[in-house]
Structure 1
Amino acid sequence: MTTAQSVILDVPDLVAAEAFYNALGVGDRIQLRESNEPTTGFRGYTLSLVVSQPNIVDAFVGAALAAGAAVLKPVKKSLWGYGGVLQAPDGSIWKIATSSKKNNEPATRTIDSLVLLLGAEDVKASKQFYLDHGLEVSKSFGRKYVEFTSAANNVTLALYGRGALAKDAGLAPEGTGSHRITITGASEPFADPDGFAWEVASA
């Protein structure tokens, strides 16, 4: 079964990016590659840290802000839980959130899941593409949202409509150029219908 093992981010300043992601504590699920591929506007994806309770959201947001992140959507309670959206110094968009609305224990720096959400022009077509490439669906809500099965301690891959994803991130949906992201875990390299590239994970 094909699964997303990690995400490679193309960053303009490798040293600064390494410092940021070390502070965020995402481990080897996020890898970095120095690149100045041109891009404008929304890159078509977001990354999310899903945690168990609000004080853990606050801990990760505090660490990210101290390491140079900018706020796109302030942390707040909502119908679905508690969270906010940040932009890393390299330009990637991060959502840090929990479905819980109250704290049951002291804060830790534990990540329950790291989710890569791709903005698809046609969620149904992209879902079928990934099924054809060996991924398995774990959740699906028609043409709106699809989540694929993930192995433990890997990245969880999901699909969402591009416009809806941009709105959730607090950005305009327009954007051109490189996604500045590569997904590892394929048996052979390929690119999906929206131009997101996959490559074979290194041993």
Structure 2
Amino acid sequence: MENIASVTLDVADIEAAERFYSAAFGADTPLRFRASQEPSTGFRGFTLALTVPQPADVDLLVDRAVAAGATVLKPVTKSMWGYAGVVRAPDGAIWKIATSARKNAGRATGRIDAFVLLIGVADVAASKRFYTEHGLTVSKGFGRVYAEFDPRTGPVTLALYRRRALAKDLGVAPEGTGSSRLTVGGSGAGFTDPDGFAWEAASPALNA
């Protein structure tokens, strides 16, 4: 498994999800959708993060998402790390839109520089070992707190963070039960990671 080719979200209504994400973030994302009613409550253990060029782009994408039906979990604000906001999509997936830039260099374009799947894990070190054994390469790490993998040619960057710390950062309680309602499409054979997230070989179809 050398890279992530796509991320599939389980949704109740595929057409509604396609409309929302196209309006909020544009059509050119590595998202796919699968119709499912599998139960899930509370925090699903992950967030999808969009890194953008400047604060104006954070504002633009958050505003678009809210206009399309998203709920604000954390209003856009400045921090020591940059500028970010957190929203929950109508299907329940949590999105963080962020930039490390502190000032605008021009008008907002809505360009997305990086698409990151950030998983909240029980043990960062153990999950990092698991993923390196499955062919991913660590590009950045902070001990047992955070790890990020080289996406190589894939459109999605995988990162790991402690589950409770991730939930706190997103403004939600860490507890959750049932399905994560997420499947990761990779370049190799399928497997289930130590925190229960399912990976499968990515297919060429747009939606399953």
Partner of 1:73: 74
Q: Deviations over 1:100-130 (max 9, x none)?
A: 1110111101100010000100111000000
Is the CA contact (8 Å cut-off) linking 1:48 and 1:115 kept in structure 2?
Answer: yes
Q: What RMSD, in angstroms, separates the aligned Cα atoms of the two structures?
A: 1.1
Alpha-carbon distance, 1:153 to partner: 5.8
Is the CA contact (8 Å cut-off) linking 2:3 and 2:153 kept in structure 1?
Answer: no
The alignment partner of 1:119 has SS state of strand
The alignment partner of 2:152 has SS state of coil
Relative distance call for 1:153 and 1:67 in structure 2 (3 A) is: farther
What TM-score results when the alignment is normalised by the length of structure 2? 0.95
Q: Percent identity?
A: 61
Is the CA contact (8 Å cut-off) linking 1:186 and 1:198 kept in structure 2?
Answer: no
The alignment partner of 1:21 has SS state of helix
Partner of 2:188: 187
Which blocks of at least 5 consecutive residues in structure 2 are unaligned?
none
C-alpha distance in structure 2 between counterparts of 1:16 and 1:10, whole Å: 12
C-alpha distance in structure 1 between counterparts of 2:153 and 2:132, whole Å: 20
Is the CA contact (8 Å cut-off) linking 2:14 and 2:35 kept in structure 1?
Answer: yes
Alpha-carbon distance, 1:5 to partner: 1.4
Is the CA contact (8 Å cut-off) linking 2:189 and 2:201 kept in structure 1?
Answer: yes
Structure 1's consecutive aligned runs of 4 or more residues displaced over 6 angstroms after TM superposition are none
Amino acid at match of 1:156: T
The alignment partner of 1:73 has SS state of strand
Partner of 2:140: 139
Partner of 1:11: 11
The alignment partner of 1:37 has SS state of coil
1:95-114 paired onto structure 2 within 5 Å? 95-114=96-115
Amino acid at match of 2:75: P
Alpha-carbon distance, 1:8 to partner: 0.3
C-alpha distance in structure 2 between counterparts of 1:38 and 1:27, whole Å: 29
The alignment partner of 1:27 has SS state of coil
C-alpha distance in structure 1 between counterparts of 2:152 and 2:139, whole Å: 12
Q: Deviations over 1:25-81 (max 9, x none)?
A: 152401111111111100000011100100011111111011000000000111111
Is the CA contact (8 Å cut-off) linking 2:40 and 2:176 kept in structure 1?
Answer: yes
The alignment partner of 1:202 has SS state of coil
The alignment partner of 1:5 has SS state of strand
What TM-score results when the alignment is normalised by the length of structure 1? 0.97
Partner of 1:50: 51
C-alpha distance in structure 2 between counterparts of 1:134 and 1:93, whole Å: 27
Give the count of matched residue pairs: 203
